[in-house]
Amino acid sequence: MLTPDLAARLEAFLGAGLVTAKEEAPGSFAVDGVLPSAVVRPASALEVEEIVRFAAREKLAIVSCGSCSKLELGVPPARYDIALDMTGMCQIPHYDAGDLTLSVDAGMPLRRLEQTLAEKQQFLPLAAPCFETSTVGGAVASGIDSVLRQQYGTARDFLIGAEFVDGTGKLCKSGGRVVKNVTGYDLHKLLIGSLGTLCVITRLNFRTFPLAHVSRGHLASFAGAEGALAYRRQLEAAGLPLSNLEVLSPGIATILAVILRSAKCSVPQGLESGGWCSYVAWEGSEAVVARISREVETIARHTGATQGEILEKSADESLGGMLREAFEWLRFASPAVLLLRLALPEFTTEVSAGLFDILKANSSRGAILLRARGIVYFLVQEDTEEGAALDRLEKAAKDAIALAAGKRGYATLLHAPLALKSRASTWAGIPENVGMMRRVKHAFDPQGLFAPGRFWGGI
Amino acid sequence: MTTSLLRELTSLLGPANVLHHKEDLMLYEYDGSVEKGRPEVVVFPHTTEQVSRIVKLAAKHQVPIVGRGAGTGLSGGALARSGGVMIVFARMNRILEIDLENQRAVVQPGVVNLDITREVEKAGLYFAPDPSSQKSCTIGGNVAENAGGPHTLAYGVTANHVAALELVLPDGEIVRVGSQHGDASGYDLCGLFVGSEGTLALVTEITVKLARKAEAVKTLLSIFDTVDDASQTVAEITARGITPAACEMVDGWTLGVIEDYVHAGFPRDSAAVLLLEVEGLCEAAETQAEAVAEVCRTHCAREVRVAKDEGERELLWKGRKNAFGALGRLAPSNYVLDGVIPRSKLPQALQHIQEIGKKYGFGIGNIFHAGDGNLHPIVLYDPRDAKALEKAIAASEEIIRYCVDLGGALTGEHGVGMEKSELMTLMFSEADFDLMRRVHDAFNPDSSLNPGKIFPLSKGCGEIRIKAKSGG
């Protein structure tokens, strides 16, 4: 617990202005209603080390924060003394455009990074939701999905190193700044999706990618899931290099149409067809883009698309951008929402039917968004967060988690009413290797300073 | 090695799967590096359960263990630095499951790298990581070292193609990490274990991701009259955002050595060649090939040849991939380095390496993965000349130190092993070592598994411990 005396001592050695006491701390640092006792905003890795050492001496719990857009992921912390606001660390200490490698402070906003890289005709495919405000460190630590994973993979595929302060208060590093490197353990990979439970990330190193000359998007509609999934299978079998590949159930398509309209963006006709939709996008030279356009349209016809259109540029940008933000608008799609992310070895019509059976059995509304191979967003909607509605959401969560486990996958609760989070498991039960995760946690953070209780198995 | 441990191992595995006579153990004293280390017994399990029981027996008798695949490693990773039990996975060599639709396969660690591709190529799939030794190296070893190869430039290293692992921990516990779909639940433990050089666990089963073969491939050989022109070409290809599937450089001296052995059609009179490969849809391969050729000509390429057919392509790659075999015919010993530098620094790095060679009186050949900055300078020396050995060591250290000073790394694909453990202090601080040791101790607290690897044995700064191979 950060008492006023401790807060004063923290401020004394860090300097005034870096510490904000609880009463003045913005609510944005709350994690599911749990507020910190103080907010500290370091400007350097050295200050982070000092804060962590102070916390270690005084046995205080730290939660690292970026823009606070995704703090609801995970379980609320068992203790929360200091919110470490990392937005004060937002420089690019190293960018070798000729080598396509980058070293960036954790507090750098994704949007600002995108602009800097674009000046050199490059980009980072960390196309995470809440893009306008998210920081690089927050996006990586949250493990949240990138809409470009179909082609570029996830952070695991382009994170090449990191610097971070461990639980002993020392600045450490892993990896490096070159695209190929097997020196030492790849500890930086552990940070992805770790929700700040291992360390305080101060800097991340990435390989960057060239911006494509030309890109295109296409939206196809289908009468049912079978057609949409057959389309998806054939696209993958054709080996076409697609940057985006999303399948939307009718409910998702309808919500998306409403959101696009309210944002005064054009709404592709297919979204309002009442059927399943699939959005695909691709990029490359003019010749490559033209070739893929022909193949996509052919495959759409062969798999029974009821509608299909190559999107004009601004419509494609709007739709692609909105799908990147799916986590953001799905979690607010209704007064009460359960949003789960399932990771499955494969997504079949049987799985689709299984998820809709859950909705039917619970008399709930809901929808599915399928992203890349095996990643599914399962949305369950109710009109209130109380009483029988809450019970239905809880049952839907349990049934979906069981379905995922039965298919050798797992489910993560991304959003649920607060009352449900305390009742349901955020994670799909206890994973079989939670013991190994506890060993890693203890190695990084021997005293359990960082976000205690936020992670799998109470870590 | 106690007789009771030997008896228990023989009882568990059968005498045909246990070697303990000196003349048998000598075969396992070496790998592809210049290091040596003899085990006290070599065992050949067939199942994960047997591996677990071997580990438990070794723990009971307090004897160290080292895992080994085909022994093609280049850093001493699969050598028994402290004696003990060597577990050779050669007989765990089955492909257990192939899921073509979802592009996955489950294999045992003793499966040869290229055999995975051979099994699935009719379906238009393959396993992308392609170390030069892929006809003999095993997937278990690839996982331990996070192996690379020429085509990792576009497709990534082994870690990018492993979805899940089954492991035996140093206490004998059998665990699984990763997932079928490649996304970790919880911490990315799979990402931690790939490349951990057998110091955290033994790999007993691997779920690999299979890539789809590209529709078209074009292989180009660009011929240059100076090394600088070739290296400037690589720097510009990278800077322009062109990502070939492979970009290999061979200098003139090495070309002559390869031609004497392989007859791949490399020009003997050039200073350097680039072996470039682009692939993708036909349109993409065509566009990329033109772009790459244009950059080559901008930097004074004397000629840019395009392989006319698959036969020509295979011959060019045969030349590249058999290069180290060719070098082995030359000098009594050669030392192949494995530093990495930013690609933007390639021209200056190659020049500086030649200057280091002149300083120590060596010619230094180069054949390497230019496209990802992974250098393989080759220092030839006669181990019978003690002063030459000393100079080779000093030259090697200076080259590696230079790579790190340029912002690079000690090793791009060969691993740290025994060979570079003392150089780790060039890249890592005490705090870094403390954390890596804590992670190591979390799984291998007694250092019973592959001891003496990765971490410096001394706290000194950069003393390389290289032992020359005996004989030619």
Residue of A nearest to B404 (CA): A176
When pLDDT is cut at 50, 70 and 90, the band that residue B334 belongs to is confident
In this complex, the residue of B280, B412, B428 whose CB is nearest that of residue A180 is B412
- Whether the CB-CB separation of A79 and A126 falls below 8 Å is answered with no
Are the Cβ atoms of B185 and A410 closer than 8 angstroms? yes
- pLDDT-above-90 percentage for chain B: 75
Residues contacting B79, CB < 8 A, separation 6+: B29, B30, B31, B33, B35, B36, B37, B66, B417, B418
In this complex, the residue of A101, A375, A408 whose CB is nearest that of residue B180 is A408
Residue of A nearest to B237 (CA): A98
Are the Cβ atoms of B192 and A241 closer than 8 angstroms? no
Using the predicted structure, report yes or no on whether residue A76 has a pLDDT greater than 70.
yes
For testing the chain B interface, which of A182, A185, A187, A407 should be mutated: the one with the most B CBs within 10 Å?
Answer: A182
- Shortest alpha-carbon distance between residue A123 and chain B (Å): 11
When pLDDT is cut at 50, 70 and 90, the band that residue B470 belongs to is very low
Write the pLDDT tens digit of every residue in B109-167. Answer: 999 999 999 999 999 999 999 998 999 999 999 999 999 999 998 999 999 999 999 99
- Shortest alpha-carbon distance between residue A133 and chain B (Å): 25
Average pLDDT, chain B: 91
For testing the chain A interface, which of B104, B153, B157, B187 should be mutated: the one with the most A CBs within 10 Å?
Answer: B187
Q: Which two tokens stand for residue A106?
A: 């954790």
When pLDDT is cut at 50, 70 and 90, the band that residue A25 belongs to is low
Residue of B nearest to A122 (CA): B241
- Shortest alpha-carbon distance between residue B469 and chain A (Å): 24
When pLDDT is cut at 50, 70 and 90, the band that residue B318 belongs to is confident
pTM exceeds cut of 0.90 = yes
Rounded-to-integer distance, Cα A182 and Cα A382, Å: 49
Residue of A nearest to B176 (CA): A433
Are the Cβ atoms of B188 and A436 closer than 8 angstroms? no
Query: Distance from first CA to last CA of chain A, Å, rounded?
Result: 19
Write the pLDDT tens digit of every residue in B185-205. Answer: 799 999 999 999 999 999 999
Strands B174-178 and B162-168: antiparallel
- pLDDT-above-70 percentage for chain A: 96
Residue of B nearest to A194 (CA): B187
Are the Cβ atoms of A345 and B187 closer than 8 angstroms? no
Using the predicted structure, report yes or no on whether residue A430 has a pLDDT greater than 60.
no
- Whether the CB-CB separation of A101 and A209 falls below 8 Å is answered with no
- Shortest alpha-carbon distance between residue A189 and chain B (Å): 6
Chain B residues in contact with A101 by the CB 8 A cut-off are: 342
Give the per-residue pLDDT at B243: 92
Using the predicted structure, report yes or no on whether residue B377 has a pLDDT greater than 80.
yes
Residue of B nearest to A49 (CA): B431
When pLDDT is cut at 50, 70 and 90, the band that residue B265 belongs to is confident
User: Which ipTM score applies to this complex?
Assistant: 0.95
Total beta-carbon pairs less than 8 A apart between chain A and chain B: 247
In this complex, the residue of A96, A170, A190 whose CB is nearest that of residue B342 is A96
| B256 has a chain A CB within 8 A of its CB | no
- Shortest alpha-carbon distance between residue B251 and chain A (Å): 21
Write the pLDDT tens digit of every residue in A211-229. Answer: 998 999 999 999 999 999 9
Chain B residues in contact with A210 by the CB 8 A cut-off are: 240-243
Please state the rounded mean pLDDT for residues A276-296: 96
In this complex, the residue of A153, A373, A443 whose CB is nearest that of residue B438 is A443
For testing the chain A interface, which of B185, B234, B419 should be mutated: the one with the most A CBs within 10 Å?
Answer: B185
Write the pLDDT tens digit of every residue in A156-187. Answer: 999 999 999 999 999 999 999 999 999 999 99
| B158 has a chain A CB within 8 A of its CB | no
Please, how many CA atoms are within 13 Å of residue A196, restricted to the half-sphere of its CB?
35
Chain A residues in contact with B280 by the CB 8 A cut-off are: 241, 288
Cβ under 8 Å to A: B residues 5-64? none
Residue of B nearest to A172 (CA): B432
Please state the rounded mean pLDDT for residues A5-10: 77
Please state the rounded mean pLDDT for residues B287-310: 95
Q: Where are the alpha helices (DSSP H) in A311-386?
A: 313-324, 326-330, 349-362
Average pLDDT, chain A: 93
* Between residues B19 and A19, the one the model is more confident about: B19
Chain B residues in contact with A187 by the CB 8 A cut-off are: 192, 435-436, 439
In this complex, the residue of B160, B188, B431 whose CB is nearest that of residue A190 is B188
